[in-house]
Amino acid sequence: MTIDLRLDPAEVALLTDLYELTVSAAFFEHGFNDTASFEVAMRRMPPGRGFMVAAGIERLAEALEEYRFDAAAIGHLESLQLFKPDFLEFLSKLRFTGSIRAIPEGTIYFAGEPIVEIRAPLIEGQLIETLALNQLGFASIVATKAARCFVVAGGRRLVDFGPRRAQGADAALIAARSSYLAGFHGTANVLAGKRYGIPVFGTMSHSFVMAHERERDAFSDFVSSFPALSTLLVDTYDTVHGVENAAAVGAKFREAGVKIQGVRLDSGDLHELSRKTRRILDQAGFGDIAIVASGNLDEYRIAELTDADAPIDAFGVGAALAVSDDAPAADFTYQLVDYKDHGRLKTSAGKISTPGRKQLFRAYAPSGSFFADLIGIVDEGATTVAREFKPIPAKTVQLMETVLDKGRRIMPRPTLAAARERLMNGLTALDARYKTIRRPAEFPVRQTAALGALVISEKLRADKRQD
C-alpha cells in the first residue's frame, strides 16, 4: 500500500489549477497554440526585504523534463466529465517542448525583474503556470529568509531545524535545499541530506533526558553512544545546572579521551544563559566546547544576540525559516508577455504587466559592488545598454541564460554548491544598506529606453483590444 507522502512524476502534470486545464482546452478547441512567452516576476518586495534570492529553478527544470499526462492522469481528467476526447488525446501525447531562460539559482534579484521565461506552444506554457509559481515562489522566499539569517549571523554556523514545522513534506525539502543554498551549514532533515547532498546535523531530545532518572546519566549514555554527535541539550530542567552536569560528564569522558562537541540552549534568555554557560565551560577547561542556540530564532533574534556579543557558536533555526514567518508569501506573477512574436500587456489596476521578451542587465561599480539593474528587451546586449547607465559602470553583465531548449537541458545541471557560491559572491557585492533586515534601501532598477518604447506601443494596442 502506498502512502500519501508521495508525488509520482506522472502526477506532476495534475498539480495545477483547474482553470489551467479548462483554458487550455478552450485554446485547443479554437486553434490557439502558437509560440508564446510567459514570464515569472515579482511585483513588489515582501515586507522588510531589500533583496531576493532566486531558487527553485532547477527543481522546475527537472519536473518539466519529465512532464507528461499518463494513463491514470488522463483517466482522472476523463472522470471529471469536463473535457472532450480529442483534448484528452492531445494531452496524452503532450510533452514539454519549450525553452526556459532564467537567472541562475543563487542570483540576487529585485522587484519587477524577470526571473524565468517560459517560451513554448501556448497550451504548454499555460498548463505549467501553477507548477512554476509553486516551485519558484516558496523556494525563493525561504532562500531569502535564510540569506538574511546568514547576513546577521556574522560567520556563526546555521542549521535548518525546520522540517517538523514546515507546512508539508515537500516544503521541508525546499526549505532545507534553499537554506543550504543561502549559506546554512546543513539541515536536520535526513531525507534532504540524501536527496541534495546537504550535511545533516542533530543533537538530542528532551525525551531522552526525561526518560532517565538522572540528567547526568542521560548525558553519559548519549555521549557513549554517539561521541561524534555529542551536543548535549541542557535545558530540560534548570539550564545552568544542566550545563554544570554537562561539564561534569565532559570531564569524565575527557579522561577516556572522548571530547564532548557542544551544549545546546533551547529556551530562556539566550544572551544571559550563553554567558553563564561559557563561563562554566571555560572554568572546567572546556573552552573548545561549542554553544548552540535554538528555540524560536529568526534573523531579528539572531541579530540581537550577535550585536550583544553573546558567546554563541551556532544557531538552529526552525519554524521561522521553514515558513518564512514574517513574509510567508510574495506577489509572484506568471504573465503572458509575447504571443506569435508580438508583445502582450495586461493593464489591470495595480497589476499592470510589462510586455515583451526580456533580458536583465546588472552593472557593477569600480569597487565590484552592484551599481544598478536595467530591464531590457531580449535582443539588447550588455555593451549597448551600458551607455544607459549614468555614469557608465565598470562592468555590465546579462543575467538570464538558457536552461532548457526544446524541452531538454542544453548544459550540465548546475550544482547546489555552485548556486551557493554565486549567492555568497552576490552578498559580498551587495551594499550593506540593501542587506539590512530593517528598513533596507531600495535598489535602483529601471527599464531600458527600448523596453520603455515597447511598453508605450503595447499600451496603445491593449487599449484597442477593448474597442
What pLDDT, on a 0 to 100 scale, did the predictor assign at position 16? 97
Instruction: Read off the amino acid at residue 136.
Output: L
pTM of the entire structure?
A: 0.95
What pLDDT, on a 0 to 100 scale, did the predictor assign at position 9? 82
CA–CA gap between residue 315 and residue 143 (Å, rounded) = 17
What pLDDT, on a 0 to 100 scale, did the predictor assign at position 364? 97
Rounded to 10 deg, the angle between the 416-429 and 129-153 helix axes is: 60
CA–CA gap between residue 466 and residue 172 (Å, rounded) = 45
Model pLDDT for residues 234-249, shown as the tens digit of each residue: 999 999 999 999 999 9
Cβ neighbours of 67 (radius 10 Å): 20
166-168-171-173 Cα dihedral, nearest 10 degrees: 90
What pLDDT, on a 0 to 100 scale, did the predictor assign at position 2? 64
Residue segments in the chain with a per-residue pLDDT below the cut of 50: none
Distance of CA 160 to the CA centre of its chain: 13
What SS3 state is found at 403? strand
- Please name each of the domains of the chain with its CATH number: 9-142+334-464 (3.20.140.10), 149-322 (3.20.20.70)
Residue keyed to cell 554563541? 312
What pLDDT, on a 0 to 100 scale, did the predictor assign at position 226? 95
Instruction: Read off the amino acid at residue 238.
Output: D
Query: In this structure, what DSSP letter does residue 243 have?
Result: H
CA–CA gap between residue 316 and residue 187 (Å, rounded) = 9
